[in-house]
Structure 1
Amino acid sequence: MSRPILLEGAPGVGKTEVARTLSRMLGGPMIRLQCYEGIDASQALYEWDYARQMLQVRAWQQDNGNSGNSVAELYGPEFLLERPLLRAVRESGPRVLLIDELDRADDEFDAFLLEVLDDFGVTVPEIGRFTADEPPVVIITSNRTRELHDAIKRRCMYHWIDFPDVEREAQIIRLRAPGVDDELARSVAKAIAALRDMDLTKTPGATEAIDWARAMALLGASRAEGEAALATLGWVAKSREDMWKIRPMFDLPTG
């Protein structure tokens, strides 16, 4: 339907991976715009290559016989640095534009983004207007650190992604870490599910589960328990406080 897809969910549920997988299925590039506090239009659209412009000016100055150059020549396509949104407009063929973690940007950036998403056109005053022959597939992700503008939501198909259940997580681990056997994958998935029920500073996502399973497989462990789990705990616990909360689950019995 040529409309964006808005994916929301906790960090680590695989929202970004949806865009990567979709780009592989379509056979085109994934163009990623990583949002952050303070991002503005120039960082999302385009900038001028000032270093190259200065080199061109110096070249003109050294060429004493060439006095017909103008400042306007410094603002041509060869000096234009494409940022993700302009690249997504100018690129041809199947492609995925990932606008990642839009909730990190300011409200004003939502309004700017609406203008681009409405017709997928970008105007560069010194050159002209670029319009996409065929709009890209747009994936917008949010971790819900703030509410996105209603106008953004109205233009998108909304989908919530939750953490997978134990069976699905075990399948993901086996797919992404072929060296992990079924028993270890299922044991890790069960342990991760238990950790997500704890009051941790950072809830482990699928990436942490995969890394943890790989680490224990390298140690020759068959289950997520005991010394192997404790030695590799840094793959799932990302703060000192979380480490001390988790350790009792895997401490070996004494005596």
Structure 2
Amino acid sequence: MKNIDFKRVDDVQHHLDEQQYIANRELSTSLFLALKMKKPIFLEGEPGVGKTEIAKVLSKIMDTKLIRLQCYEGLDVHNAIYEWNYSRQILQIRMMEVEGNHDKEKISNEIFGSEFLIKRPLFEAIDFGNDSTPVLLIDELDRADEEFEAFLLEILSDYQISIPEIGTIKADNPPIVVITSNRTREVHDALKRRCLYHWIGYPSSKQEFEIIKRRIPELSEKLGKQIISFVQALRQKEFYKLPGIAETLDWATALLKLGTTELSEEITKDTLGTLLKYQDDIERMDSQMTHGLVQKAISDVNLI
């Protein structure tokens, strides 16, 4: 792990920039404070705006391991924190019985040792050791049940985990914690109070153009600006799922692979599946809307 001392917000922004992550001043400030105050950062925003990428970039900057917990409905302590290796425990019990050891207390002490413990992401981040500090990504927390948030409170408060058979395990070096949410539901205030909060919105035209220039350098400036102008205008429309930065990059890559040099209605219709992910949205994108957005993208190209 690199021992990087961020003395100023500019240092954070510089390192993010080196990793091709274009961040505004507000996000860089939130990250700087989270690192300095050793508090989790809670990133909320629409899907595809770069929330998850922040954790990945931080792990690269710090040259440390990224531990990811992908949240989903029904996620519980066994999948997120730890569980016992039951098959190995049963095997150990049988081996001890074969050896003539029938002492229940001794068997219990033997099979509930740390070697029979399966570490899940939260446990791994807490019990990582004192040589390095991992980045813990708790991704899409809003997809998990509200009850799961209670499991996180102890961890985010004291960076420790309580296991009845073993005791309390406390982190030597607290992990760098990044929590993301798409805001499909509200996360409990008790959890948010333990974090620094930042909302990541869609980037400006200039920011998004800079992103695709860096990620897809072979894309022509003319087509790149047309793509950004189209996507920015598209986000002003009423759709179930608006395209994020990830979709913009996918669309730009698709157009490049097809040998496109200038946006047209035909190529836009043919490639809508890279931008819009729901059939209702694609059907809503009729010929009139497509024509208007394409013409606007072509005429506004010099405004970016």
Q: Same fold per TM (> 0.5)?
A: yes
Distance (Å, rounded) in 1 between the aligned partners of 2:221 and 2:89 = 58
Shift of 1:196: 1.1
Is 1:2 the equivalent of 2:38? Answer: yes
Within 5 Å, give how 1:166-185 maps onto structure 2: 166-185=205-224
Aligned to 1:112: 151
- For 1:130-141, what aligned pairs fall within 5 Å after superposition? 130-141=169-180
Which shows bigger deviation, 208-217 or 67-76? 67-76
Give the residue type in structure 2 aligned to 1:202. Answer: K
Matched, 1:199 2:235: no
Contact 1:100 1:141 in 2 (8 A): yes
Residue 98 of structure 1 corresponds to which residue in structure 2?
A: 137
Residue identity opposite 1:142 in structure 2: S
1:5 Cα deviation from its structure 2 partner: 0.8
Report deviation, 1:26. Answer: 0.9
Unpaired runs of at least 5, structure 2: 1-36, 296-304
- The alignment status of 1:235 with 2:249, answered yes or no, reads no
Residue 77 (1) aligns with residue 117 (2): no
Q: Please name the residue that 1:41 is paired with.
A: 77
CA distance in 1 between partners of 2:87 and 2:217 (Å)? 46
Structure 1-normalised TM-score? Answer: 0.89
> What's the CA shift string for 1:59-81, capped at 9, x where partnerless?
x28x94x2237244222222211
Distance 1:223 1:53, change over 3 A: farther
Instruction: Name the amino acid aligned to 1:75.
Output: F
Q: How far apart are residue 55 of structure 1 and its match?
A: 4.3
SS at match of 2:285: helix
Aligned length: 250
Please, what TM-score do these two structures have when normalized by structure 2?
0.75
Amino acid in structure 2 at the alignment position of 1:36 = Y
170-179 or 185-194: bigger deviation: 170-179
Number of the residue aligned with 1:220: 259
Q: Mean alpha-carbon deviation: is it higher for 186-195 or for 224-233? A: 224-233
Q: Out of 208-217 and 188-197, give the one that drifted further.
A: 188-197
Alignment partners' CA distance in 1, 2:170 and 2:188 = 25
> In 2, are the aligned partners of 1:167 and 1:186 still within 8 Å (CA)?
no
1:138-188: per-residue Cα shift (whole Å, max 9, x none)?
111112222222222222111111100111111111222233232222221
Question: Residue 123 of structure 1: SS of its match in structure 2?
Answer: strand
* RMSD after superposition: 2.3
- 2:69 partner SS: strand
- State the SS of the aligned residue for 1:140: strand
Quick one: which amino acid aligns to residue 50 of structure 1? Y
* 1:150 pairs with 2:183: no
Cα separation, 1, equivalents of 2:89 and 2:68: 27
Answer yes or no: is the 8 Å Cα contact 1:96–1:137 preserved in 2: yes
Q: Tell me which residue corresponds to 2:124.
A: 87
Checking the alignment, whether the CA contact within 8 Å between 1:27 and 1:94 is kept in structure 2 is no
Cα distance between partner residues in 2 of 1:233 and 1:118: 45
Deviation at 1:56, TM superposition (A): 4.1
Matched letter for residue 68 of structure 1: N
Partner of 1:126: 165
Q: Structure 1: which amino acid aligns with 2:200?
A: I
Seen in structure 2, the aligned counterparts of structure 1 residues 165 and 128 have a Cα distance that, compared at 3 Å, is: same
Deviations 1:89-129 (A, max 9, x none): 01131221111122222332222211111111112222332
